[in-house]
């Protein structure tokens, strides 16, 4: 009798664990699908930005205003998305699912960076492109954490646009082209308008380099 009670209790415990596991897994898969839907929307809107020049870039004033508004909108949403993605990573049990979502986002972010550079060149946009290379495994903290927090604090500053990429991470090897282009050899590095900054700047210095003195 006593032994059967223990068996029933063990089976019940295993059943509860399985229910919890599958519930969590289902919730994470649903969240991943939601993220991927957002990424698809980012990608479509970014492609639309890139294709505007095929429609009519002769009217530079109108064309550049449309491009500027579109990039500002996508940039703001991308900042929020990265924060959501970081939270998803911290709470996720399925690292493979996270890596897939993160990879899709980084590809879209690279395409957005390309669109930004093209628009900046054609429209004479006075906005500095900023690349931030961080460590995906947080091995460069506290340095990377400080820089990331500084950029987030200055996110409303309109004089720059930051694009964040993990440094030398196997799952996202396609970002290597940016590391090579700018000569990046370690995480915790900023590239501000083509100039490499490999040390942590205090906030006044960073605001000065980003052109955010009045913000």
pLDDT digits (tens, 9 = 90+) for 6-64: 554 444 444 444 333 334 444 455 666 777 677 777 666 766 666 666 555 566 777 77
3-state secondary structure string across 53-104: HHHHCCCHHHHHHHHHHHHHHHHHHHHHHHHHHHHHHHHCCCHHHHHHHHHH
The pLDDT-based confidence of 78 (bands split at 50, 70, 90) is confident
Of the candidates 39, 32, 33, which has an alpha carbon nearest to the alpha carbon of residue 93? 32
- Higher per-residue pLDDT: 164 or 77: 164
Sign of torsion over alpha carbons 139, 140, 146, 150: negative
69's tokens: 């508004």
How high does pLDDT run on average in the chain? 78
28's tokens: 């994470």
* C-alpha to C-alpha distances, 204 to 150, 195, 200, nearest whole angstrom: 11, 18, 12
Question: What is the predicted pLDDT for the residue at 96?
Answer: 76
1-10, 96-105, 169-178, range with greatest mean pLDDT = 169-178
* Distance, CA of 158 to CA of 127 (rounded, Å): 7
Q: Is there a contact between 99 and 171 (Cβ–Cβ < 8 Å)?
A: yes
Of the candidates 153, 34, 18, which has an alpha carbon nearest to the alpha carbon of residue 87? 34
Which residue's entry shows tokens 């493979």? Answer: 96
Longest dimension (CA), the chain: 87
- Residues 6 or more apart from 5 whose CB is under 8 A from it? none
37's tokens: 């839907």
Query: Residue 186 pLDDT > 90, yes or no?
Result: yes
Question: What is the predicted pLDDT for the residue at 21?
Answer: 37
17: exposed, middle or buried (Cβ count in 10 Å: 0-12, 13-18, 19+): exposed
């Amino acid at each position: 009798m006593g032994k059967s009670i223990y068996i029933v209790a063990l089976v019940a415990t295993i059943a509860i664990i399985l229910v919890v596991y599958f519930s969590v897994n289902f919730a994470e898969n649903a969240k991943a699908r939601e993220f991927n839907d957002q990424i698809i929307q980012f990608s479509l809107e970014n492609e639309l930005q890139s294709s505007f020049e095929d429609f009519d870039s002769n009217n530079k004033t109108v064309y550049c205003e449309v491009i500027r508004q579109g990039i500002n909108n996508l940039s703001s949403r991308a900042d929020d998305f990265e924060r959501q993605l970081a939270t998803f990573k911290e709470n996720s049990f399925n690292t493979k699912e996270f890596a897939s979502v993160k990879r899709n986002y980084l590809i879209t972010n690279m395409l957005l960076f390309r669109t930004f550079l093209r628009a900046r060149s054609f429209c004479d946009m006075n906005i500095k492109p900023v690349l931030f290379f961080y460590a995906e495994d947080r091995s460069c903290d506290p340095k990377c954490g400080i820089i990331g927090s500084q950029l987030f604090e200055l996110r409303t500053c309109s004089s720059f646009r930051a694009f964040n990429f993990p440094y030398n991470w196997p799952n996202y090897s396609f970002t290597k082209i940016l590391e090579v282009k700018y000569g990046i050899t370690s995480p915790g590095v900023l590239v501000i308008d083509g100039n490499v900054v490999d040390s942590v700047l205090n906030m006044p210095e960073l605001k000065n380099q980003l052109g955010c003195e009045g913000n």
